Amino acid sequence: MHSKITNHADAAIDFNLDEDRVDWHDRTLWFIREKRDLASHAIPEWEQLREYASQIKNNVLSNLSQYLQEFEEKAKANGVIVHWAADAAEHNKIVHDILKKHNIDRMVKSKSMLTEECGLNEHLEANGIEVIDTDLGERIVQLAKEPPSHIVLPCIHKKKEEIGELFHQYLGTEKGASDPKYLTAAAREHLRETFLTRRAALTGVNFAIAETGEFVVSTNEGNADMGAHLADVHIACMGIEKILPKQHHLGVFLRLLARSATGQPITTYSSHFKIPQPHQEVHIVFVDNGRSVHLGKEDFRNSLKCIRCAACMNTCPVYRRSGGHSYHNAVAGPIGSILTPNFDMRANKDLPFASTLCGSCSNVCPVKIDIHDQLYKWRQVLMKEGLGPVTKNTSMKMMGWVLSKPALYDISGKAARWVLKHTPFVVSNKMNPWYKQREMPAPPEESFKEWYKKNRG
């Protein structure tokens, strides 16, 4: 099911081969979007909260170097060991070195999109370290040897029957069983043993507070807590943009995060980590991996405000019908489409075109990122760089040429209407993607110009 195709449109065609899956994927994510609406409408000051969150994040970006140093100083004073990683390779090496130092070859990991971005699991496994993802959805895609397709719901593309088959294969559940309660109980039992026997746990970081040096991890399954509290070594990895200035700012974001993500009032666990437990080592790894360069791009730096709620994915008509794997990156959907070209414009040149530019993503974003405006700006950058699709490039040039010559435009319009009327098969065929899964309207009898001359001229 997982596509290795690295072009969104082609991968979307692949996903759409299973129409039932697309319909169910679309409906499920829209259901979550509706839950988000109900939850947000129940908070009278919702728009005020979004504005506060946006302003706080703007302030963070404009003082990031100071806040990072402030956080580092406070975290060290709390007894936490702080590391700095310039890129994915350095991040992976730091984590590996910590494990080596403690002679650990098995580790539990709760959900962390940053480690997906850095390819940590693959790196550690290549070095003989077993990583067990403890978020249930992450564990499912790990067993399936697939990347997550959604940052909050990693296995949303999978049907329960497929999960049942995986569990039968790896966890020994009954063949053909697909009852979610039965499967969840089996996974819980399997993970419980894992938690009790692993000496190292890695978590992500949702928010890191400069004022206190503490960090907050939000989960629904408590898996970050179980891992971190039972392990001798806790490693927390965070992108440098995750900082908040003051502790009292946290409430703004916790009120927005889960409501935007799943429509819950708050995640089941919002765990604050500040001072290591006795006999425990806590490490924090700050990761740049292109973020500092991204910060310098005036038109695009705003996307660093993202708190990874996935509201933009759940509402996006393209994401819902093309699936997360079609974005071929750890962070998919509209936000992924504006983040990833910052890191590798050439490899992700298809993504800003994977949008209708309807603006729904910007409307639901809890930190007011101008997502659809940035998608449009990325398209302009890509076309100027000559990285736009060849067919689009050629057709736009042709269209520009025709539109600049009124007489030619009139003739072309008449010719097109004649073709559509008398020889529709010339355009209505399998070669023309516009005719896939849709019928086109009948061609007009006359152009608007002709109509205007006749009726208003």
Partner 1 sequence: MSSRENILREVLKNQPADTALPVIDISITTTHEEWIGALKIRLDILHVTVHEVGDYSAIKTILQQEAITQERTVTTIAELGDVSTYIDSIKEDAHSLEDVDLAIIPAHFGVAENGAMWVTDSLIQYWYCLSLRSNWQWL
Size of the chain in residues: 457
- Rounded Cα distance between 313 and 334, Å, is 6
The minimum distance between CB 55 and partner 1, in angstroms, equals 4
| Binding of residue 229 to partner 1 (CB under 8 A) | yes
270 near partner 1 (CB under 8 A): yes
Select 270 or 428, whichever has its Cβ closest to partner 1: 270
292 token code pair: 């500092």
Q: Which of 20, 298, 439, 445 binds partner 1 (CB under 8 A)?
A: 298
CB of 379 to partner 1, least distance (A): 23
Can residue 299 be called a binding residue for partner 1 (CB under 8 A)? Answer: no
Pick from 362, 340, 365: nearest CA to 350: 340
Stretch that binds partner 1, among 144-152, 263-271, 370-378, 411-419 (CB under 8 A): 263-271
Is there binding between residue 46 and partner 1 (CB under 8 A)? no
Q: How many residues bind partner 1 (CB under 8 A)?
A: 51
Nearest to partner 1 of 14, 241 (CB atom): 241
Taking the C-alpha atoms of residue 80 and residue 88, their distance in angstroms, rounded to an integer, is 22
432 near partner 1, rule: CB under 8 A: no
Contact segment (CB under 8 A) with partner 1 among 64-72, 149-157, 312-320, 345-353 equals: 64-72
Q: Work out whether 222 is an interface residue with partner 1 (CB under 8 A).
A: yes
The neighbour count for residue 452, using CB atoms within 10 Å, is 11
300 to 359, contacts with partner 1 by CB under 8 A? 301
Smaller CB separation from partner 1, 6 or 277: 277
Pairing of strands 200-203, 106-109: parallel
Residue 186 and residue 173 in contact, taking contact as beta carbons nearer than 8 Å: yes
CB of 261 vs partner 1, minimal distance in Å: 13
- Minimum CB distance to partner 1 smaller for 12 or for 209: 209
Q: Characterize the bridge pairing of strands 207-209 and 130-133.
A: unpaired
293 binds partner 1 per the rule CB under 8 A: yes
Residues within window 82-101 making contact with partner 1, judged by CB under 8 A: 84-86, 90
Q: Does 295 bind partner 1 (CB under 8 A)?
A: yes
| CB nearer partner 1, residue 22 or residue 108 | 108
Binding site for partner 1 (CB under 8 A): 45, 48-49, 51-52, 55-56, 58-59, 61-65, 68-69, 84-86, 90, 192, 195-196, 221-223, 225-226, 229-230, 240, 245-246, 248-249, 252, 255, 265-266, 269-271, 277, 286, 288, 292-293, 295-296, 298, 301
